[in-house]
Amino acid sequence: MSGEKKTFDSTEQPTLKIYNCGLTVYDSPHVGHAKVIIFFDTLRRLLLRKGFRVRYVENFTDVDDKIIQRARELGISTTLLSERYIAEYFRDFGTLNVMKADSYPRATRIMADIIQLVDGLVKMGAAYVVPSGVYLDVGKVKSYGKLSKIKLSELRAGARVEPDPEKKDPLDFALWKIYDEEPLWDSPWGRGRPGWHIECSAMVHKELGEPIDIHGGGEDLIFPHHENEIAQSETLFSKPLSNLWLHVGMLRLSGEKMSKSLGNVIPIAEFVRRWGPNTLRYYLLSGLYRRQLEYSINVLQNSRENWRIVESAKAISDRFPRIGTGEKGDQDDSSAVTSAILNFDSALSDDMNTPQALSELVKLSRLINLRFSSGQVDGDREESLSTGFNLLFDTLGFSKPSIPDEETKSVEERITSRNELRKRGEFGRADQIRSELERAGYALVDYPGGTLWYKSEYLLPGGSE
């Protein structure tokens, strides 16, 4: 709102209240959603690492015209449709290693709270009732447009507004709409459904209370959604809704915003099958959060190459947690780790410069890979490369694939067989086992003491399909 940076001090603000506008659940989550969710997941991880307590709330919009239309097309209830895609949300973002929110409120579960807020606005004269429903009187809102920086005259001339001849002003927006088709809820003004904006105001009020510290979402929510949230909440409670607003730039495909309504989306599940979850996280963090990001195969390939370096270092650091060199080398490594952590912290602490933070992770990854390839895997200093590497790796939210015990046993048995074949000089058969394991997604790296193996996203098809 101010266009300026704001400092958070954990000694003054031990608990941060964050609300992120989540998904309208009428279709599968796509990578455009992931750009927003992964940014807030990374922000939350950083704040926790820096000593804050965080209460993070992310809502589901589970009553909406798009949900109703889609449910009718499929011949199922809106509840069944919403539950289906909420389940997909948890599946897909679990795959992306996104921490679960402290609470996931849903509009349909707080209808009494929504009606109470609308009633309060009506009683104070800030909203009015017409046969079609209840509208907020924007003319009675001080500083309307202060978030979007759009003048009221410009808004009236052609902004996205709800058409209704009964409104006093084109900018007035619905708090409650009267309908005669399900889903419906009883209210003092007739059976109907809430407006989109009042749903979030009610959820913020119920879950966190005003003011909150950070309110966020995609940049497409600045107007009208967040502007209208401010108008109704601050009018009713006479307090700022949020101390800080963070908006994430859109992911664009062929120059257009990636969105379900445009039909140009890539579902998360499809992307992960081709590229892997960590490659997606790396790619989406490779640009500054406030800026739009073009969906580009070339940029994806670059993210994939960098992830190959990181995933190799992760496998090495897990296998050799004390990786390092001799005394002088250890001092050099310790200095490199200290420098990387300081640069990493400085980058993320200054408006979440994730591209620079990723660069520091890759630097440490290259050093670990170099130590491994040089045979220096027996370092004994506590300030190890692995410790610093894992600090950066975990703060950015990357993850190591989980492999079932039976699968681990099978892979290790095949690697043992391969190594025995190599000792006997049967290199053709040994190479065949290696190829079969690589097709199954396992990278093998031979070193003097044996064979390092790990599940590799780099071996997924990527953009080759």
pLDDT digits (tens, 9 = 90+) for 81-115: 999 999 999 999 999 999 999 999 999 999 999 99
Tell me how long the chain is.
465
Both 99 and 217 in one domain: the answer is: yes
Same structural domain, 349 and 310: yes
E strand or H helix at 318:
helix 297-319
Phi, psi for residue 15 in degrees, rounded to 5: -125, 125
Provide the 3-class DSSP secondary structure of residue 113: helix
Q: Are 422 and 388 in a shared domain? A: no
Averaged pLDDT, 218-239: 96
Same domain assignment for residues 242 and 321: no
- What would the two tokens of residue 212 be? 């909150």
Do residues 148 and 265 both lie within one domain?
Answer: yes
Instruction: Note whether residue 275 is domain-resident.
Output: no
- Sort residue 263 into left (φ over 0), alpha (ψ -120 to 50) or beta: left
In this structure, of 183-197, 246-260, 339-353, 418-432, the range with the lowest mean pLDDT score is 246-260
Per-residue pLDDT band at 465 (split at 50, 70, 90)? low
The stretches of 12-145 forming alpha helices (DSSP H) are 31-49, 65-74, 78-95, 111-123
User: CA-to-CA distance for 405 and 378, rounded, in angstroms?
Assistant: 27
Task: List, for residues 35-82, the tens digit of each pLDDT value.
Answer: 999 999 999 999 999 999 999 999 999 999 999 999 999 999 999 999
Cα gap 373→134, rounded to integer Å: 69
Residue 64 within a domain: yes
Element (DSSP H or E) covering residue 251: strand 251-253
DSSP 98: P
Host domain of residue 173: 15-269
Q: Does 207 lie in the same domain as 147?
A: yes
pLDDT at 34: 97
Q: How confident is the model at residue 11 (pLDDT cuts 50, 70, 90)?
A: confident
Strand 15-20 relative to strand 133-136, pairing: unpaired
Q: Which of 269, 288, 309 is the last residue of a domain?
A: 269
The one-letter amino acid code at 279 reads: T
- Rounded Cα–Cα distance for residues 154 and 148 (Å): 12
Within 343-395, strands assigned E span: none
Per DSSP, the residues of 356-411 read: HHHHHHHHHHHHHHHHHHTT------SS-HHHHHHHHHHHTT--PPP--HHHHHHH
| pLDDT reported for residue 331 | 67
Question: Residue 130 and residue 49: Cα distance in Å, rounded?
Answer: 51
In a domain? residue 386:
yes
Closest CA to 390 of 381, 382, 399: 399
Six token digits for residue 88: 């997909």
State the pLDDT confidence band at 381, using cuts at 50, 70 and 90.
Answer: low
Q: 68 and 99 share a domain?
A: yes
- Indicate whether 386 and 441 sit together in one domain: no
Mean of all residue pLDDT scores within the chain: 92
In a domain, 39, yes or no: yes
Whether 196 and 304 map to the same domain: the answer is no
Three-state SS for 53? strand
Which residue among 395, 420, 446 closes a domain? 395
How far apart are the C-alpha atoms of 233 and 45, rounded to whole Å?
A: 29
Classify 333 as helix, strand or coil.
helix
Q: What is the CATH number of the domain that holds 371?
A: 1.20.120.640
- State residue 166's pLDDT score: 87
Task: Of 156-165, 187-196, 379-388, give the range with the top mean pLDDT.
Answer: 187-196
Mean pLDDT of 413-425: 96
**Cβ neighbour number for residue 405 with a 10 Å cutoff:** 7
Q: Residue 351: how many CB atoms within 10 A of its CB? A: 13
Q: 116 and 73, same structural domain?
A: yes
Of the candidates 61, 107, 63, 67, the residue with the CA atom closest to the CA atom of residue 202: 107
Q: What's the confidence (pLDDT) of residue 154?
A: 72
Question: H-helix or E-strand containing 335?
Answer: helix 327-349
Residue holding tokens 């409104």? Answer: 167
**Rounded CA gap, 132 and 303, in Å?**
51
Return the minimum-mean-pLDDT range out of 191-200, 291-300, 320-329, 447-456.
320-329
Whole-angstrom Cα distance, residue 216 to residue 359? 26
Alpha carbon distance 313, 178 (integer Å): 59
Residue 306: strand, helix, or coil: helix
Q: Is 153 exposed, middle or buried (0-12, 13-18, 19+ CB in 10 A)?
A: exposed
Question: Among the residues of 170-266, which ranges form H helices?
Answer: 196-207, 227-237
Question: Does 191 fall in a domain?
Answer: yes
Query: What type of residue is 313?
Result: A
**Count: domains in the chain:** 3
* pLDDT value of position 330: 55
The confidence score (pLDDT) of residue 150 equals 83
Structure tokens, 322: 């004390």
Nearest to 88 by CA among 29, 20, 26: 29
Per the domain annotation, does 21 fall within a domain? yes
Where residue 155 sits, what CATH number does that domain have? 3.40.50.620
Any domain includes 400:
no
> Domain boundary residue among 234, 269, 304?
269
pLDDT at 159 (0 to 100): 46
Cα–Cα distance for residue pair 228/277, rounded to 1 Å: 35
Note whether 444 and 455 are within 8 A (CB).
Answer: no
Of 222, 358, 343, 360, nearest in space to 290 by CA:
222
Rounded Cα gap, residues 369 and 452, in angstroms:
12
Same domain for 420 and 361, yes or no, is: no
Residues 27 and 117 reside in one and the same domain: yes
pLDDT at 326 exceeding the cut of 60: no
% of the chain exceeding 70 in pLDDT: 94
| The two three-digit tokens of residue 289, written as one number | 């959060």
Q: What is the pLDDT of residue 122?
A: 98
Residue 172 has pLDDT above 60, yes or no: yes
The alpha carbon torsion through 322, 323, 329, 331 (nearest 10 deg) reads -40
Q: Is the model's pLDDT at 329 over the cut of 50?
A: no
